[in-house]
Structure 1
Amino acid sequence: MDSALTSIGLPIALGIIMLGLGLSLTLQDFARVAKHPRAVIIALACQLLLLPALAFGLVLLFQLPPVLAVGMMMLAASPGGTTANLYSHLFRGDVALNISLTAVNSVVAVVTLPLITNVAIWYFQPFDGQLGLQWSKTLEVFAIVLLPVILGMLVRRFRPRFADRMDKPVRIASVIILAVVIAGAVIANWQLLIDNVAQLALITVLFCLLSLAVGYWVPRLLRVERRQAIAASFEIGIHNATLAIVIAQSVLGSMELSLPAAVYGVLMFFVAFAFGFALFRRADASAEPAVPVTDASAA
């Protein structure tokens, strides 16, 4: 049962999620990148360079076992998830920029995720005699990530009304299937999860907080407009944990390798909301103009 869930259920769930992403994308979302090149380049630099370095430092600081260390690096290499769009909308970020960044990140991750994962496997040596994501497995990553997105975009291009009708059902189906698959995997590996959650909770929370902070403050220091910086914060701070779980369990065949992403995937919702509420909502409230007081005696 566990094998069927991880080898078949997880890729199907992720495929439906990526199909839903494709149904919401057009070529204009990629072309829009040219309108905000500064924000996009800075966000991608943070995503591709700063976050792996940050995760590597945290792994060494917390002295994680090799398998969990590689799992953390895989998580850092995963692109932003579609949840980032929701949080960006909630806290008044540039959602259009989020959509563009998600689209570009999904394409770039086909190259960067296997690359960073292989470097991490080479450095930490969690497996005996296993080389990690070889060419055939890299093609699996391509098929899991990009093909459903391309299919969804083709549907959007040639059947826009059908894409609009299917957007909500596909989202609901992806959530239901993913919840069932993850619940089954958790039940089957409950003891393994319990044994590791204590040492993973703090590092994943710190990684999420630092990612959100880097995503906001680095663009702001480089004079990116505030709404775009908010979008970058959530795009960089909210990773596609499902993708990391699928690669770990289905492609590399290791439940333990997926544990950092599994713990992060639960905690990130609360961390991202608390971060957004504390930083962005408070700033919005303080920026609101005071309500003028009417002088009753002047009436």
Structure 2
Amino acid sequence: MLKSARKQETDPEGRMPLVEHLRELRNRLAKGLLAVVVVTIAAAFFYRDIIEFFTNPILQAVGCESSFAELAKRRDGTCARIVLNGLLTPFTLALKVSLMAGVAFSSPVWLYQLWAFVAPGLHKKEKKYSLSFVAAGFPLFLGGGFFAYKTLPTMAAAMISLSPADLDNQLPLDDLLDLITRMVVVFGLSFEMPLLLVLLNLGGVLSGRRMLGWWRGMILGITVFAAVATPSTEPISMLALAAPIWVLYFAAAVFALVNDRRKARIEAAGPGDDEASELDLTPEAIDEIEPVSSGRSLPAQASPDRDRVNGYDDIT
């Protein structure tokens, strides 16, 4: 009975009192946090595998070999070892890796809870746009993270090669994981740049013609970013990062040009059958009211006693 009464009291437009909004926010935050905790506990059993997944490619690129004969095959004889410093470091590292994996792998749950809280306040078109951006932004971020994962071994080898010969480098594992996390986030966000340009175009802030006019500066800026993010002596790694962002930038510019032409055609066609035309609110001069001439008689008025029944007329 209580559930049916609440359903009957629900506003048909989805509006709720402030207390109901806060209660719903609390419930959705609790569900998202519960998902993070559950996945974090599950990831704690596999934290060694997660660490090896990220560090093995780097260690294979710069790690010290077991024999001096293999070490002599390197160009300058330098190598690196991944180490742990401190007694509590293994525990804090396991906790950090498990929590990061919990937040990452439970993202579909807490992102859905966030969407379910915001969606009732959006219009149909806004819901369509937001779902499209999420559907495009998540693969783009994964693509940037993948490029970071593939670029890190080359970057590590280039950095280690700057060390003096016959010296081993010790890489603290916690610092190395922090570096990997930052690289993945930076590369992932760099792949979101074209999506931001499309969003600005749909909002009417940036036109496709102006976006395309920036192509020289954008190519230079993307190239400089790729060179800084992949400090390697070979240009292949730099082009491997810069080329996809170039393609995404020009794809965003083409989309913006097509969208601008579509808007121009809609504006030229005028309002549709189901749309209201724009009102002309320009003030106009009002003609003077013709005064009543002295010879013009007013309409005849009813006599005071006519149409009265028991002292009352039709109005009273």
Normalised TM-score (structure 2): 0.24
Higher relative contact order (CA 8 A, sep 6+): 1
Higher helix share: 1
